[in-house]
A and B are shown apart, each in its own frame.
Chain A
Amino acid sequence: MHEFRKRVDYLFSSTKGLILLAIAMIALETALFGLLSGPMAEWGVRDWVVKTLGMRLVPAEREGRIIILYHTIAMAVIAIETYLITALVRMAPFYRTAVRLLITVGYLVAMIFGLGFAYWGHNWAFHGLYIAGLTLIFFAGGLLCIGLWPWNKAYYVRDPAYAHTRSGVDLERVAFFTTALTTVISAVFGAVPGAYYGHGFQTFLAEDIIRLPEKTGFQYAVIGHLHIMLALIAIMLTLIIGRWLDFKGVLHKIAMPLMILGTAVLNLGVWGVVTPLEPIAHMIIYVGATPAMLAALMLVIFGWDQLIREGTRDIPKPSAGQKLRALLHDPLRFGPLWQMVFMNFTVSGVGIFVAVRLDEIFRQWPAREERLILTGHWHVLSAIIATIILLYYGDLIGLKGWGRRLYGWGIIVFSDLAFAAVTVYEMKRLVISEAHQQPLVNTVLLLVDIGLGGVLVILALVLIWRLLDLFRPKGRWTVEAQQADPVMKTEVKA
Chain B
Amino acid sequence: MARQGLIGRIGIAAVLVLTASACGTDSGSRPTPPQAALDGVGPITLATGKDTSGNLQNQIDGWNSAHPDQRVSLIELPENADAQRQQMVQNAQTRSDTYAVLNLDVIWTAEFAANQWVVQLPEAEFPLDKLLPATVETGTYFNRLYAVPTNSDGGLLYYRKDLLDAAGLTPPKTWAELSAACAKVLPANPGTSCYAGQFEKYEGLTVNFSEAVNSAGGAVVGPDGKPTLDTEAARKGLEFLVNGVKSGEIPGKARTFKEEEGRRAFQAGELVFHRQWPYQYLKAAATDGSSAVAGKFAVAPLPGLTGPGSSTLGGHNLAVSAFAKNKKTALEFIKYLSSEEQQRANLEKSSQAPTWAALYDDPALTARFPYLPTLKQSILGAKRRPAVVKYQEVSTAIQNAVYDAMGGKGDVGGALTGLQARLSELTK
A associates with B: no
Interface of B with A (CB < 8 Å)? Answer: none
**Interface residues, chain A, CB within 8 Å of chain B?**
none
